[in-house]
Amino acid sequence: MNKQVIKSTFPLGFRTPKGKWLAYSGSWYRNAHFFESNNLKVHYTEALAAPQLKNHSPMSGVVYSLFVLYKANKRRLDTDNYTTVHKKFFHDAMVKHKIIDDDDTDHAPLQISVYGGIDKENPRVDIYVTQDLEKIIKLMRENLWTTN
């Protein structure tokens, strides 16, 4: 069976109309006011995720996800600090737009985060979602940055 792979790309943060930089990171999310975090999630879901999901068919059953972080420079970043907010927002967007049934442990039991390297021109998180576990493992190996 040929199972689709959804690939989406998201920036590491968002600049508000007033010019404030809001990183999609656990550190920001932990300290954010509810109103601010909710507005950012709405923006993420409707302005960023919806256009990338609109041409994909629903996936019924179990899905596996890979989150690949590309940073802008050699500055230290915690991969999970950035990918955790993308995990929450993107999976919730997929449920809202009826791509997946739910994002609970029965439907999304594996969510892998890896560091993909430096991309000065386009720091981002690439997200892959599929029902094919072997494909997620292959994508993880292809996108994992190593010093070897």
Q: Are 45 and 113 in contact (CB under 8 A)?
A: no
pLDDT tens by residue, 43-97: 899 999 999 999 999 999 999 999 999 999 999 989 999 999 999 999 999 999 9
Q: Are 89 and 25 in contact (CB under 8 A)?
A: no
Predicted TM-score (pTM) of the model is: 0.90
Q: What is the pLDDT of residue 94?
A: 97
Domains in the chain, ordered, with CATH? 5-143 (3.30.1330)
The stretch 27-38 carries a mean pLDDT of: 73
How many helices and strands in the chain, by DSSP H and E?
A: 5, 6
